[in-house]
């Protein structure tokens, strides 16, 4: 399995719009990607405007399939104007 | 829901022992905590000896129950000598 922690920084006035777009994306991921085991948006308690997406995939193919979906690309385009910086994506190898 | 990302730094020569202890802990969490929705050990691809635990709990009570279990305390004591520094624990509020 492969874990992902994606750090997303959002403009304060765009938080509500961002959350709505991301929640819609998450619903599509859960409905369409059997190789995705978790896809949960979370919000930092200490850094305003910072979100972290906790993700878990069955394998590299599942991660690749996720990034290649039309709905992922469409959500990325919609989220772009909400962001306050580039996403930081960390890939992690599951143990156990 | 509440997300947790726990960063654990392990001494290189203790990695195998640490992974065995943690894998046992994770099995107990999954078997005994209905309020825990994910508990996955992962290993950094870029920082040697750095592990990240991706966790998701139903609510604050579930998180508190996790930390109060005998097996969590016992695993913590066993892992102690494997560590290369203090754990860094980040708590996150789930969105959506």
pLDDT digits (tens, 9 = 90+) for B10-63: 999 999 999 999 999 999 999 999 999 999 999 999 999 999 999 999 999 999
- Which of B38, B51, B90 lies closest to A56 in CB terms? B38
CATH assignment of B2-93, among 3.40.50.1860, 3.40.190.10, 3.30.70.100, 3.30.310.50: 3.30.70.100
pLDDT digits (tens, 9 = 90+) for A5-22: 999 999 999 999 999 999
Got the DSSP string for chain B?
A: -EEEEEEEEB-GGGHHHHHHHHHHHHHHHHHH-TTEEEEEEEEESSSTTEEEEEEEESSHHHHHHHHT-HHHHHHHHHHGGGBSS--EEEEEEEE-
Task: Give how far A24 is from chain B: nearest CA, Å.
Answer: 9
What ipTM goes with this model? 0.95
B27 to chain A: nearest residue by CA?
A96
Residues paired with A54 in a beta bridge: A5, A40
- Which of B5, B26, B95 lies closest to A43 in CB terms? B95
């Amino acid at each position: 399995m492969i874990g992902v922690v994606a750090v997303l920084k959002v403009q304060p006035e765009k938080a509500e719009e961002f959350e709505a777009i991301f929640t819609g994306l998450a619903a599509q991921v859960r409905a369409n990607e059997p190789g995705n085991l978790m896809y949960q948006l979370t919000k930092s308690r200490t850094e305003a405007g910072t979100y972290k997406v906790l993700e878990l995939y069955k394998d590299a193919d599942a991660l690749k399939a996720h990034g290649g979906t039309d709905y992922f690309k469409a959500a990325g385009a919609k989220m772009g104007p909400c962001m306050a910086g580039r996403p930081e994506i960390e890939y992690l190898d599951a143990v156990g």
